[in-house]
């Protein structure tokens, strides 16, 4: 069980509250958002502060999307973004949360790139799908869970 996150009108995420209590969720939404939007270290830049709390050597949370999304929207960059997404979610397979994680580039335009992420649950082979849209001009990744596919 994870704390539930909600998207604010600014595009940022915050804890989702139910009166005076933090909402929780049983699915993978929070895990995917934390994996994508916690910045992994690249060339001694950025990094997620929570990595210092892990008892496992070289255990890292997050993705390198923060560095990829600043690049020009060309095929190599799109492939690098998809690879970064997949790498950020590989812990789910390593920790037996999921049987598989797949990232697919669905379609692209000059200004937008659509990604679909499919995660097969470890316990019951249930498929959960997420859609993420890269808004090139805003260098922002917008996402939504499609729930069970």
Q: Among positive and negative, which fits the CA dihedral 144, 16, 120, 74? A: positive
Alpha carbons 18 and 9: distance in angstroms, whole number:
18
pLDDT digits (tens, 9 = 90+) for 41-74: 677 666 666 666 667 776 667 788 888 878 888 8
Residue 41's domain comprises: 2-148
When divided into structural domains, the chain yields a total of 1
Whether this model's pTM surpasses 0.85: no
Which structure tokens are listed for 73? Answer: 């929207």
């Amino acid at each position: 069980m994870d704390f539930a996150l909600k998207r604010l009108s600014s595009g940022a995420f915050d804890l989702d509250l139910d009166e005076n209590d933090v909402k929780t969720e049983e699915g993978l939404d929070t895990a995917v958002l934390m994996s994508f939007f916690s910045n992994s270290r690249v060339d001694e830049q950025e990094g997620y502060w929570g990595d210092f709390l892990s008892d496992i050597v070289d255990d890292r949370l997050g993705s390198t999307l923060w560095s990829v999304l600043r690049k020009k929207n060309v095929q190599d960059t799109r492939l690098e973004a998809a690879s970064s997404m997949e790498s950020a979610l590989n812990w789910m397979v390593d920790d037996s949360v999921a049987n598989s994680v797949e990232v697919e580039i669905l379609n692209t335009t000059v200004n937008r790139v659509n990604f679909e992420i499919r995660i097969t649950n470890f316990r019951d082979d249930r498929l959960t799908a997420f859609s993420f849209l890269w808004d090139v001009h805003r260098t922002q990744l917008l996402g939504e869970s499609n729930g069970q596919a």
